[in-house]
Chain A
C-alpha cells in the first residue's frame, strides 16, 4: 500500500513542482503579475502581428503534416507488407531522423542546401555558376522539408507497426467478395488504418506546431512560429507578459492536440505477442515491384542526405577534405566559443544527459505504472496529463522555469539543476511511451501466477516485471539520453555561459560570422550526431519490434 502510494506521489509531485508550477507562473505573468489584468491577451489577440503568428504556426504545421504523410506512407507500406534483403537495417535507419537533435537536423539542411552547402558547391563546381543556384534557406520550402525529415519516422513507425499487424485475410476476404485492389484499399485497408494515420498525423502536427530550432535557424527573420515569437519576446524584447500570453495560447492548442493523440493511440495500440510476428507480408520478394524500389530509394534519400551532407561539409575545408574543423574544437586557443573550451561544452552535455536520463527513468516508469493501472478506458486524461510536457514547447517550458524558479520556494538561479530538470521533463514522456505498451501488453495473470507460486510483491517486481519491462526501460533510457543531449529550446533560455551545452554552442557558433565558425558548428553537429546515433543503435538493438508509439 505504501509502495503504491509512493508510486503515485512521486511522478505527480514531480509534474506539479516542475511542470504545473512553472505553467502557473506563466499564467501569473501573463495576467499582469501584481495587478490582475487581461492586457497581455489584448495585445496578443488584438494585434494582427501575433494573430498572424498563430495562423502561420497552424498552417505551416498542417502543410508539414501532409507532406510528412505523403513521404512516410509509401515507406510504411513497404515495411508492413514486404520482405526484402536489408529490411531490418533500413527500418532502423528510419528512426534516425526522429532522435536527431533539431539543431543537427537544421545543420544538416544548411549543409545540404545552404549557400555553401553540398548541392550548391557541387553545382558551382560543375557549371561554374557564380551565385548559389539553389536558394532555399530562409524560405518556407526548407522549413517544410526539415519538418518532413524530422517527423518522417513517426509516420513510418506508427503506421507500419499497425499495418503489419492487420491480417491480410481482411484484404483477401474483400477480394473474394469481389473488391478489386483499389476498392480493397479504400474500403477495407484504409478504414482499418485510419486510427494509426490520425494518431501519427496529430503527433506530427504537434511537433511541427511547436518546432523551434528548425524555424529559428532555417527560417530566418521572416518566418516566426509562436515558439520563435515567445523566444524573441523573452530574450530580445523582455516583454514577459506578452510572451506569457502567447505561451498560454500555444499551451491550449497543444493540450487539445495531445488529448486527441492519446485517445487515438489507445485505439491503435498493438497487443504484445511473444511469438514471432505473424506472416502478414506478401509472399513475393518484390524487387520487381516498382513501388518497392521507389519506396526504398525514397527512404534512403530522405533519411540519409542531410546527415551525410553534414558529415561531408564538416570534413571539407578550402576545396579539400581535412579534420581541421574537428581539431579546432579541441585546441584551446581556437577561442571558438568564448571562455569555455569545446571539451567543457561536451562534458556539460554528457553529464547533464546522464543525470536527466536517471531522473526521467524513475519518473517515467512510475508514471507508466500509474497510467497502466487505471486500465485502458479510463487512463486517457491521466495519460495526456503526464504526456503534456512533450506537447508543451521547449521554449515555453524554459520560459516557465525562468519566471518560476528565480525566487523561493524553488530558487534554482545559477544552478545546473535547472537544466537537468528541464531536460528530464522533456525526456520522461519517452520513457512512458516506451514502458507503457509493455506494461499494458503484459498478460494479466503473470503477476497473479507468480504470487500463487509464493512470490512476495517485491519478488514479483524483481523476477517478473523488471525482466519484462527491462528492454523497454533501456530503450526509454536511451531516448531520454538522446533527448537531453539534443535539447535546444529550453536550454537556450536557461543556460548560463559556464553550463553551455553542445546544441547551444552550435547555435552561438552559427550566429557568428566566419567560415571557421561555420566549420566548427558543422563539426560539433557531427559529433552530436555520432553520439546520438550510438544511443540509437542501442535502442534498435533492444526495442521490442512493433510495440510502442514511437
Chain B
C-alpha cells in the first residue's frame, strides 16, 4: 500500500484555480520532489496535504486513512517552511523539543531525542544558542531537526533552502537528502530549482498552472520531457517549431534549421503534416570545422555566432539555416577551438532529436 495518496485534489482561491485535480502517490520512504515554476500550486498542494487549507475536491489519504477530517496538529505530518518559522522566543533546544513536548514525552526522552537529532544535523552543543545567533545554514538545520523530532509519518519541505546562497544551498542539498534517507521518513520536497530536484529526488512530480504535467524518476524526465515547459525548466534550449513530413519508417521533421531525422518514437497524437516541437539534445551534437565538399548525411552546415567558455565544456551558438542551435562541446574536442565567424559542420545523431507534444 502506498504511504501517501493524493486523489483528484482541487483548490480554488476565489475564481482562481490554485490546484486542479492533482493526483500523486508516494511509497513509504520515498523522497518526492514537486518541481515547477513559482505560482504553479506546489506550495498550496503541500498546505492541502498538511490540512492548513481546506480541499475543494478530491481526497488525501495516508496509509489508506482519509485525512480531511483530521486536524492539522493530529495528522502527524511535518512541514518545514521556506522562512523556517523558528520560534524566536526559544533557543535551539526549545525549538527542536517543541513537538516532543506537545506529545508529552518525558524530559529524559526529550533530551535524548534532541541530542540525537542535533548530532544528526551536525549541530552538537548548539542547544542553548539563540535562534538569531545562528547562520543561515544552521537555522536550516535546526528547522529540519525540529520537523523530524516528533517522528512525522510524512515530512514536507517547502523550498527549505530557498533563502540561501547557491554555494551553501548546493552543499546542504546532499546533507538534507542523506538525513532524510537515514531517518527513512516519507518526504515531499518542493522546489523550483531543477538542480536541487535532481540532487534530492527519488521521483519528480512536475507541476504547471495547478496541474501535474509529468511524474517520474529524474532520469526519465530528463530523457523524455513531456512539454516545452518541462524541457526548458530542465535546462534544454534547442526547442524549435516544426512540421512532421514523414511518419513511416524513420520519421522526418522540417524546421528552421532544416529537415531532420527523428530517432525517438513519435508521441501519440502527432499527425503527419501536423505542427510539432522539435527538441535537440545540445550535448549529443558534435561540431567540427567545415571541410571542402558536400555536407555529409545527418549533418548541417552552419556559422559560429558566439562561443562561451563554461569550464569543462564550451557552449557554441551556431547559425544553421534560418535558425540557431546551442551546442555544448567538451573542451577536449576539436569543436571547442572554433571561433565566432568560422564555418562549421554540426553532426546530429538521430537519437539527439525528439518530438514534443
The answer to whether B88 and A274 touch across the interface, beta carbons within 8 angstroms, is yes
**B12 part of interface (Cβ distance < 8 Å):** no
Measured in the bound complex, the distance between the Cα atoms of B132 and A370 in whole Å is 29
Candidates B72, B87, B88, B89; contact of A452 at CB < 8 Å: B72
The answer to whether B88 and A468 touch across the interface, beta carbons within 8 angstroms, is yes
The answer to whether A452 and B73 touch across the interface, beta carbons within 8 angstroms, is yes
Convert B75-89 into 0s and 1s, putting 1 for each residue whose CB lies closer than 8 angstroms to a CB of A. Answer: 111110101010111
**A443 part of interface (Cβ distance < 8 Å):** yes
- CB-CB under 8 A from B87, the residues of chain A are 446, 449-450, 464
Q: Which of A418-473 contact B (CB under 8 A)?
A: 443-446, 448-456, 459, 463-464, 467-468
Measured in the bound complex, the distance between the Cα atoms of B131 and A443 in whole Å is 14
Measured in the bound complex, the distance between the Cα atoms of B166 and A541 in whole Å is 41
Closest to B77 in A: A452
Closest to B158 in A: A445
- CB-CB under 8 A from A449, the residues of chain B are 79, 81, 85, 87, 146
- Size band of the interface chain B makes with A: 20 to 34
Measured in the bound complex, the distance between the Cα atoms of B85 and A452 in whole Å is 12
**B52 part of interface (Cβ distance < 8 Å):** yes
Closest to B155 in A: A452
- CB-CB under 8 A from B85, the residues of chain A are 443-446, 448-449
**B268 part of interface (Cβ distance < 8 Å):** no
Convert B55-79 into 0s and 1s, putting 1 for each residue whose CB lies closer than 8 angstroms to a CB of A. Answer: 0000000000000000111111111
Convert A84-96 into 0s and 1s, putting 1 for each residue whose CB lies closer than 8 angstroms to a CB of B. Answer: 0000000000000
The answer to whether B150 and A453 touch across the interface, beta carbons within 8 angstroms, is yes
- CB-CB under 8 A from B171, the residues of chain A are none
The answer to whether A455 and B83 touch across the interface, beta carbons within 8 angstroms, is no
**B102 part of interface (Cβ distance < 8 Å):** yes
Measured in the bound complex, the distance between the Cα atoms of B74 and A459 in whole Å is 13
The answer to whether B83 and A454 touch across the interface, beta carbons within 8 angstroms, is no
The answer to whether B52 and A448 touch across the interface, beta carbons within 8 angstroms, is yes
**A182 part of interface (Cβ distance < 8 Å):** no
Closest to B103 in A: A454
The answer to whether A448 and B81 touch across the interface, beta carbons within 8 angstroms, is yes
The answer to whether A452 and B102 touch across the interface, beta carbons within 8 angstroms, is no
Q: How far is the CB of A274 from chain B (nearest CB, A)?
A: 4
A-B contact count (CB 8 A): 70
Candidates A275, A451, A468; contact of B72 at CB < 8 Å: A451
The answer to whether A467 and B102 touch across the interface, beta carbons within 8 angstroms, is no
Total count of chain A residues near the partner, CB < 8 A: 21
- CB-CB under 8 A from B150, the residues of chain A are 453-454
**B242 part of interface (Cβ distance < 8 Å):** no
The answer to whether B98 and A455 touch across the interface, beta carbons within 8 angstroms, is yes
Closest to A454 in B: B102
Q: How far is the CB of B129 from chain A (nearest CB, A)?
A: 14
- Decide yes or no: A443 and B83 within 8 Å by CB, A450-B98, A454-B102, A454-B150 being known contacts: yes
Measured in the bound complex, the distance between the Cα atoms of B88 and A444 in whole Å is 13
The answer to whether B132 and A275 touch across the interface, beta carbons within 8 angstroms, is yes
Q: How far is the CB of A282 from chain B (nearest CB, A)?
A: 25
Candidates B78, B88, B89; contact of A453 at CB < 8 Å: B78
- Decide yes or no: A453 and B146 within 8 Å by CB, A459-B102, A467-B89, A468-B88 being known contacts: yes
Measured in the bound complex, the distance between the Cα atoms of B149 and A451 in whole Å is 14
The answer to whether A453 and B98 touch across the interface, beta carbons within 8 angstroms, is yes
Closest to A453 in B: B99
Q: How far is the CB of B301 from chain A (nearest CB, A)?
A: 50
Measured in the bound complex, the distance between the Cα atoms of B150 and A81 in whole Å is 46
Q: How far is the CB of B134 from chain A (nearest CB, A)?
A: 10
Q: Which of A251-282 contact B (CB under 8 A)?
A: 274-276
The answer to whether A454 and B89 touch across the interface, beta carbons within 8 angstroms, is no
- CB-CB under 8 A from A467, the residues of chain B are 89
Q: Which of A280-297 contact B (CB under 8 A)?
A: none
- CB-CB under 8 A from A459, the residues of chain B are 102
The answer to whether A452 and B83 touch across the interface, beta carbons within 8 angstroms, is no
Closest to A464 in B: B87
- CB-CB under 8 A from A453, the residues of chain B are 73, 78, 98-99, 102, 146-147, 149-150
Q: How far is the CB of B4 from chain A (nearest CB, A)?
A: 15
- CB-CB under 8 A from B353, the residues of chain A are none
- CB-CB under 8 A from A274, the residues of chain B are 88, 131-132
Q: How far is the CB of A312 from chain B (nearest CB, A)?
A: 44
Closest to A274 in B: B88
- CB-CB under 8 A from A455, the residues of chain B are 73, 98, 102
- CB-CB under 8 A from A452, the residues of chain B are 50, 52, 72-73, 75, 77-79, 147, 152
The answer to whether B132 and A468 touch across the interface, beta carbons within 8 angstroms, is no
The answer to whether A451 and B98 touch across the interface, beta carbons within 8 angstroms, is no
The answer to whether A463 and B98 touch across the interface, beta carbons within 8 angstroms, is yes
Q: How far is the CB of B89 from chain A (nearest CB, A)?
A: 5
Measured in the bound complex, the distance between the Cα atoms of B72 and A443 in whole Å is 19
Measured in the bound complex, the distance between the Cα atoms of B73 and A455 in whole Å is 6
Measured in the bound complex, the distance between the Cα atoms of B95 and A446 in whole Å is 11
Q: How far is the CB of A383 from chain B (nearest CB, A)?
A: 24
Measured in the bound complex, the distance between the Cα atoms of B149 and A459 in whole Å is 18
- CB-CB under 8 A from A443, the residues of chain B are 83, 85, 88
- CB-CB under 8 A from A451, the residues of chain B are 52, 71-73
- CB-CB under 8 A from A275, the residues of chain B are 132
Measured in the bound complex, the distance between the Cα atoms of B84 and A443 in whole Å is 9
Among A443, A451, A452, the one with the most B-chain Cβ atoms within 10 Å of its Cβ is: A452
- CB-CB under 8 A from B83, the residues of chain A are 443-445
Measured in the bound complex, the distance between the Cα atoms of B87 and A452 in whole Å is 13
Q: How far is the CB of B117 from chain A (nearest CB, A)?
A: 13
Among B71, B99, B103, the one with the most A-chain Cβ atoms within 10 Å of its Cβ is: B99
Q: How far is the CB of B8 from chain A (nearest CB, A)?
A: 24
Measured in the bound complex, the distance between the Cα atoms of B83 and A459 in whole Å is 22
- CB-CB under 8 A from A448, the residues of chain B are 50, 52, 72, 79, 81, 85
Q: How far is the CB of A447 from chain B (nearest CB, A)?
A: 9
Closest to B143 in A: A449
Closest to B99 in A: A453
- Decide yes or no: A445 and B81 within 8 Å by CB, A274-B88, A453-B150, A456-B73 being known contacts: yes
Q: How far is the CB of B323 from chain A (nearest CB, A)?
A: 43
Q: Can you add 7 more A-B contacts, CB < 8 Å, to A452-B78, A453-B98?
A: A274-B131, A275-B132, A448-B72, A448-B79, A448-B85, A452-B79, A456-B73
14 contacting pairs across A/B (C-beta < 8 A): A274-B88, A276-B132, A444-B83, A445-B81, A445-B85, A448-B79, A452-B52, A452-B73, A452-B75, A452-B77, A452-B79, A452-B152, A453-B102, A456-B73
Per CB-CB distance, the 5 closest pairs between chain A and chain B, nearest first, are: A453-B99, A445-B85, A454-B102, A449-B85, A445-B81
Give the B-binding residues of A (Cβ under 8 A): 274-276, 443-446, 448-456, 459, 463-464, 467-468
